[in-house]
Structure 1
Amino acid sequence: MMKLYKMALWSFFLFLSLDTKANWITWHSKDNLVIKFQTQDSGVIAIQAATFIPNADRMSLIALLNDTQNASNWLKNVSKVEKIISPNSAEDIVYTELAAPWPVTDRVMLTHSCHKKINESKSKIIIRSVGEAKLNKFIEKDINAILVTPVEGFWLLEDKQNGLHIQHEIYANPQGKIPRWLSNKTALKGVRHTFNNLAHFLLKPQYSKSFKLEMSNCIGFE
């Protein structure tokens, strides 16, 4: 079975608002990685990252995302990722713990992902936060952390002849009293660190093996 997106990633992005705004500001452009941001009405930024990784493919990325035990080694500011349930072979509900620097309170995320087929070489992992009506099924009420919500985003993956093109867009409201400038700066640095790690981890032998791509039409996600 597909075990999608065993991570957090923190990984964010309000579809309606982001699709209608074009004012993306480039924050980083180096070594085949471009990161942009866009300030939302909440003051929290949405983040867009794009890269091309030679000799990688979608199967290697999915294999990496499935390796939840290793998630904290490449996902910046993530201390734990756990799959809660898989509604079907193309969907996962995932719990993520985010480690915040002192004295900021730690955060948690509960996200629902779906892997959508676009064509034979291109697909999209859609991510959104689990609605409050369902939270009590998966998270204890007295958990000593702040819930990050809403979370909206996606990974757009395309296999090319000599590698993998990745576009990631994400929005996640950290809630709480953390200053917006601090949460935004931390998020941008986290994405840069994560993508630099991604380029390294995808080429490890354990992620280069064939991995079945489970996809669906993801009705209701878009």
Structure 2
Amino acid sequence: MACWLCLVCASPLAAQEKWELRKHTDGIAVYTRNLAQATVKEIRVICELPGTTAQLVNVLKDVEHHQNWVYLNRKTQLLKKKNPNRLVYYTEADLPWPLTDRDMVVEAVFSPISQNQQAQVEVKSVLGYVPEKTDFVRIPSSLAVWEISPVAKGRIKVIYTFSVNPGGSVPAWLVNATVATGPHNTFQNLRALLQKQANQ
């Protein structure tokens, strides 16, 4: 899925710099890096979470409950289930002033969980499905990649990388000042959700 984590802007053709650690608290490390021809950052989150690969994959597939843990998510709606591992959904972000709220349509592709319990999820913007709305800026392109692997019984490691062209006007100073907040909050919420499931 594509989080509303940081409002970053990235060009896939841009030269990439090294990752810089921006925040590392509560076991959640948030990195950013500059991209050529972009004024704001791409992000990466690395952390360990309770649960199994299958449990996290099921949470990611439960798109209509993403608002329970994704930072700034107003709503998410499943549009089409091409097959159990290929979903198209629409999502809205309730952004703080002075930013205009964003929306987008994405397709999530879930790789089969391997024998060693590793999985990858790629979430990419797609065109069509939902007409553009006057109260939102439609995000033209985004890419989120989840890499999931077990590290111990009942624990998994997640590497999450996200880049987006948010469209419209986005003040770089505002984004760069708060770039680590959204990712950290999102993964705190995700951890709490998985822990609650583990306790039930």
TM-score bracket for this pair, using the shorter chain length: 0.7 to 0.9
Q: 159-168 vs 75-84, which deviates more?
A: 159-168
Is the CA contact (8 Å cut-off) linking 1:49 and 1:169 kept in structure 2?
yes
2:166 is aligned with 1:174: yes
1:21-170, aligned counterparts within 5 Å?
21-40=16-35, 41-54=37-50, 56-117=51-112, 119-120=114-115, 121-130=117-126, 134-135=127-128, 138-162=129-153, 163-170=155-162
1:58, distance to aligned residue in structure 2 (A)? 1.4
Q: For structure 2, which runs of at least 5 residues remain unmatched after alignment?
A: none
Q: 193-202 vs 140-149, which deviates more?
A: 140-149
| Aligned length, in residue pairs | 195
Q: Distance in 2 between matches of 1:129 and 1:98?
A: 14
Q: Distance in 2 between matches of 1:16 and 1:174?
A: 14
- Give the root-mean-square deviation of aligned CA atoms: 2.5
* Corresponding residue SS for 2:180: helix
Q: Distance in 2 between matches of 1:14 and 1:62?
A: 26
* Corresponding residue SS for 1:139: coil
* Corresponding residue SS for 2:181: helix
Q: Distance in 2 between matches of 1:76 and 1:86?
A: 24
2:1 is aligned with 1:10: no
Partner of 1:200: 192
Which structure features the higher share of strand residues? 2
Is the CA contact (8 Å cut-off) linking 1:13 and 1:153 kept in structure 2?
no
Q: Report the AA paired with residue 45 of structure 2.
A: A
Is the CA contact (8 Å cut-off) linking 2:9 and 2:40 kept in structure 1?
no
Partner of 1:188: 180
Distance 1:154 1:14, change over 3 A: farther
Is the CA contact (8 Å cut-off) linking 2:132 and 2:138 kept in structure 1?
no
After the TM superposition, list the runs of 4 or more consecutive aligned residues in structure 1 that deviate by more than 4 angstroms. 11-18
Q: For structure 1, which runs of at least 5 residues remain unmatched after alignment?
A: 210-222
Q: Distance in 2 between matches of 1:13 and 1:127?
A: 16
* Corresponding residue SS for 1:62: helix
Distance 1:58 1:188, change over 3 A: same
Q: Report the AA paired with residue 145 of structure 2.
A: F
Q: Report the AA paired with residue 4 of structure 2.
A: W
Q: Distance in 2 between matches of 1:15 and 1:199?
A: 30
1:158, distance to aligned residue in structure 2 (A)? 0.6
Is the CA contact (8 Å cut-off) linking 2:28 and 2:45 kept in structure 1?
yes
User: Taking every aligned residue pair, what percent have the same amino acid on both sides?
Assistant: 22
Q: Report the AA paired with residue 156 of structure 1.
A: E
Q: 25-34 vs 181-190, which deviates more?
A: 181-190
Is the CA contact (8 Å cut-off) linking 2:11 and 2:165 kept in structure 1?
no
